[in-house]
Amino acid sequence: MYEHCDKVLVSKEELAEMVKKLGKKISEDYAGKELVVIGVLRGAFIFMADLVRELTVPVKLDFLVAKSYSGTTTTGEVKILKDIDFSVEGKHVLIVEDIIDTGITLGYLKKLFALRNAASVAVCTAFDKPDRRLNEGLEVDYCGMTVPNEFVVGYGLDYNDYMRNIPELRIYDGE
């Protein structure tokens, strides 16, 4: 299908099981509460769609676009290219991300929603790459799985905006 990404790291079946477990845990933790789920585009859209279908609590959805990468390298600076469309004041916010590596973007977003007076701000990621963490203080509330320090594509993750549609998580060995 694509060059440079033949090695499957996480299968479709493993992804489905991961999402089911996360949905159950989040639903238990937010029982009796309304949850605002905010997806970080573009990478989180597939994971978020799967995740919200597993939630059993009332959910309001929105998306934002934050950019801190160019190719395979972080710029170290977070830019909000598209913000959410409503207030989160007094709401329980769950930020959904595809992968956390440096933690720069998620640290920025957690502070942003706290400053907007959210009742609580939690982070849910499909994948965590702690070996790359630059923001050591970032707490990840819900993590699907830890992955090695490899550049990965598929299940929403991309290389220069391609390969998001690969149904598994694969290692990209190009460049």
**Residue with token string 């279908």:** 53
Do β-strands 120-128 and 59-70 pair in parallel, antiparallel, or remain unpaired? Answer: unpaired
**Residue with token string 């609590």:** 57
Tokens of 69: 């990468």
Please state, in angstroms and rounded to a whole number, the distance separating the CA atoms of residues 31 and 24: 10
- Is 101 noted as a catalytic residue in this protein? yes
Instruction: Kindly list the strands in the beta sheet with 7-10, ordered across the sheet, starting from the edge strand earlier in the chain.
Output: 7-10, 169-171, 152-153
**Of 50, 98, 101, 128, which residue is the catalytic one?**
101
Tokens of 84: 């959410």
Decide: 147 and 161 in contact? Cβ < 8 Å: no
Residue 129 Cα to chain centre, angstroms: 12
- The residues that are catalytic are 101
